Amino acid sequence: MYTGLTHLHSAFRYVVIVLLIVVIIKSLLGWINKSKFESIDNKLSLWLLIATHLQLVFGLALYFVSPVVQFNASTMKDATTRYWTVEHLTMMLLAITFITVARITHKKLAADDAKFRRLFVLNGVALIIIVIAIISSHRGLIIPTRYQ
């Protein structure tokens, strides 16, 4: 179960990242070009929200079955255990929050350029957080190779 969830969570991140990059680029171009906010823009942000929340479900399932996630006195002393128990979860929840807030709040704005700007800025922050988390997980000791 752990291995299957790990592969699912790892593979699905590319769906989230591709959708996030598409939404960011489309939002930037729409903002710069003062384009009309169209149905496809709304659908892309919805698909991103759905994919992100699916990834959250996969990640939470993995979190509770992972041998790397531990709640004991040594959790904060070991870099790998601390990263997977606390840091990864925190960064990803922040990123998901930014994506969710972008989706919810852009719908309340009237001006198209404000919608594009909101989607660009908040999703851009989410992408930065996700990239930092992915880079952090690939630094030396952080990859939990001893558990695979």
pLDDT digit of tens for each residue in the chain (148 aa)? 888 988 999 899 999 999 999 999 999 999 999 999 999 999 999 999 999 999 999 999 999 998 888 899 888 998 888 888 999 999 999 999 999 999 999 999 999 999 999 999 999 999 999 999 888 877 644 555 444 4
Per-residue model confidence (pLDDT) at position 144: 52
Angle between helices 39-65 and 112-137 (to 10 degrees): 30
Per-residue model confidence (pLDDT) at position 142: 52
- pTM of the full predicted structure? 0.89
Per-residue model confidence (pLDDT) at position 28: 98
